[in-house]
């Protein structure tokens, strides 16, 4: 089965610019997650979707970050405007069900803000 697809793989932008990341989860997976992984740290959940609805976005910096999953499949994560501290790998993951089931991760998008 195809895995979680993310694009782009790498992105370099200047601070105050905007950027968008795209994720295509595994087919049939209702739950989609966006994580931020800063170098040397574990992934931190930004937002969780169940189908096209937001389950939790308590750790999403909503003044600059936004995410959507309009049709309950693909998702985009946007940062506008970017700050230097947003430099990180942005990981998308999906799982069949919410809760106690394995989450499958994409390769991530490495963002560098200069």
Partner 1 sequence: GESVGLHLPTLSVQEGDNSIINCAYSNSASDYFIWYKQESGKGPQFIIDIRSNMDKRQGQRVTVLLNKTVKHLSLQIAATQPGDSAVYFCAENRGNQFYFGTGTSLTVIP
Please, what is the minimum distance in Å from the beta carbon of residue 16 to partner 1? Answer: 28
Please, what is the minimum distance in Å from the beta carbon of residue 91 to partner 1? Answer: 5
What are the helix and strand counts (H, E) for the chain? 0, 11
Residue 5 vs 81, nearer CB to partner 1: 5
Binding site for partner 1 (CB under 8 A): 4, 33, 35, 40-45, 48, 55-56, 91, 93, 98-100, 102-108
DSSP lists the bridge partners of residue 37 as: 89
Give 23-73 as a DSSP string. Answer: EE--TT--EEEEEEE-TTS--EEEEEEETTEEEE-TTS-TTTEEEE-TTSS
Residue 18 vs 55, nearer CB to partner 1: 55
Please, what is the minimum distance in Å from the beta carbon of residue 37 to partner 1? Answer: 9
């Amino acid at each position: 089965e195809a895995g979680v697809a993310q694009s782009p793989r790498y992105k370099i932008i200047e601070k105050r610019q905007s950027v968008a990341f795209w994720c295509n989860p595994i087919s049939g997976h209702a739950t989609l997650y966006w994580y931020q992984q800063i170098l040397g740290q574990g992934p931190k959940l930004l937002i969780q979707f169940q189908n096209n609805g937001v389950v939790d976005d308590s750790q999403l910096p909503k003044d600059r970050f936004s995410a959507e999953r309009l049709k309950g499949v693909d998702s985009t994560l946007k940062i506008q405007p970017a700050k230097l501290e947003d430099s990180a790998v942005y990981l998308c993951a999906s799982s069949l069900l919410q809760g106690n089931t394995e989450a499958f991760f994409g390769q991530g998008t490495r963002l560098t803000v200069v």
